Amino acid sequence: MKRKSPGFLDLLEIFFTDYMPHSAGLSANTIRSYKYSFRLLMEYLYSEKGIGSSDITFKVLDLDTINGYLNWLEQVRGCGIATRNLRLTTLSSFASYAQNRTLDAAVFANAVDNVPVKTQAKAPRTIFTLEELPILFGLPDRNTAIGIRDCALLNLMYASGARAQEVCDLTVRSIHFQGGGAKLELLGKGKKIRRISIAEPCAVLLKKYLERRNISQQLDRHIFSSQSKEHMTTSCITEIFKKYVGLAKKQHPLLFREESYSPHSMRHSTATHMLEAGVPLMAIKNFLGHSSIRTTERYAELTQATVNSYILDWNKKWFPDTAPIPEPTKKNTMPDYLN
């Protein structure tokens, strides 16, 4: 008796429950992102084509459907090009997995292969200046529990240059206070662990915060919690940034001039300021947990302030002050009526 080929939902389940976590060893965050991509796909198929999740087959996922889904993400859900490309990458990963396990996935895999990745203009990195950072750090109200938490979080993100998810995943066990400073154990992309040191002022602030929460001895507690969850999410950190940047813009309209700042802006700020302070690229690479030096080299693009200072020095050196241009001599002209 001929064995029935596995269907779309059958392979999708194995893809998420076995292949991604065990065979590929991908992180929980990556798996969560992939799952959301397929939830969106199912939402599109149901809302736009009337196809329920139980009726999805590989034949349904032809080129027109895949293009329609990606256009729907941009036009209906308002997703950017980067998000659109991320969803396409998710489909491509599953397509490669599926076509090696059933011939029925050929149409789907061929459709995904024929959808181009959209190019997008590279937006300049948004960073906080050295003048703006103390203002931002001073906004949380340290007389409240939320304010103390937010102050510690903002300071730690700059001192560590950590990604938002890495900060969310920090537990009491991850921090080791030594003398006046501290060392953090961060779980980065690809489940890579790195150990970094943070400056004394931030370490002192973080220690006082943990003592205030009475969790200094509870090693498995997450350092930062939201009002509803013990394990803070990245969306919560995004809202914290949005809150204080909004306040900063109102109080200091001549500063904070970028249209928007994200939690990743703090990581960009850390890297840029380290580079301008003369820290070698390899040291910055290891500190930030980049897998490739090429990623770190992008920060070698000098900030406009640095460029301006170089140009000013160059102008002073090669364009010295010249003698003032003399005023034109006055002519003894006769009135018209005497000519």
What does pLDDT average to in each consecutive run of 10 residues of the chain (339 residues)?
A: 72 91 84 91 93 91 94 91 90 92 90 87 77 91 88 90 89 87 83 85 89 88 87 89 92 88 88 83 84 73 53 55 51 53
What pTM does this model have?
0.63
How many Å apart are CA 48 and CA 68, to the nearest integer? Answer: 9
Long-range pairs, 155-158, Cβ under 8 A, ≥24? 155/201, 155/202, 155/205, 155/206, 156/198, 156/202, 156/206, 157/263, 157/266, 157/267, 158/128, 158/133, 158/202, 158/266, 158/269, 158/270
User: Which pLDDT belongs to residue 25?
Assistant: 82
How many Å apart are CA 48 and CA 173, to the nearest integer? Answer: 48
How many Å apart are CA 260 and CA 271, to the nearest integer? Answer: 19
What is the three-class DSSP state of 185?
strand
What is the three-class DSSP state of 313?
helix
User: Which pLDDT belongs to residue 97?
Assistant: 92
When computed from its CA atoms, the radius of gyration of the chain, rounded to whole angstroms, is 28
User: Which pLDDT belongs to residue 82?
Assistant: 85
How many Å apart are CA 284 and CA 244, to the nearest integer? Answer: 27
User: Which pLDDT belongs to residue 178?
Assistant: 84
Contact, 144 vs 156, CB < 8 A? no
User: Which pLDDT belongs to residue 335?
Assistant: 54
Which whole-number Å values give the CA distances from 107 to 110, 112, 296, in the listed order? Answer: 5, 9, 39
Query: What DSSP element (H or E) covers 270?
Result: helix 263-276
Contact, 103 vs 109, CB < 8 A? no
**CA-based angle 21:234:46, to the nearest 5?**
65
User: Which pLDDT belongs to residue 187?
Assistant: 83
Q: Residues 253, 257, 263, 266: is their CA dihedral positive or negative?
A: negative
User: Which pLDDT belongs to residue 126?
Assistant: 84
Q: Which two tokens stand for residue 280?
A: 């070698």
What is the three-class DSSP state of 143?
coil
User: Which pLDDT belongs to residue 24?
Assistant: 85
What is the three-class DSSP state of 250?
helix
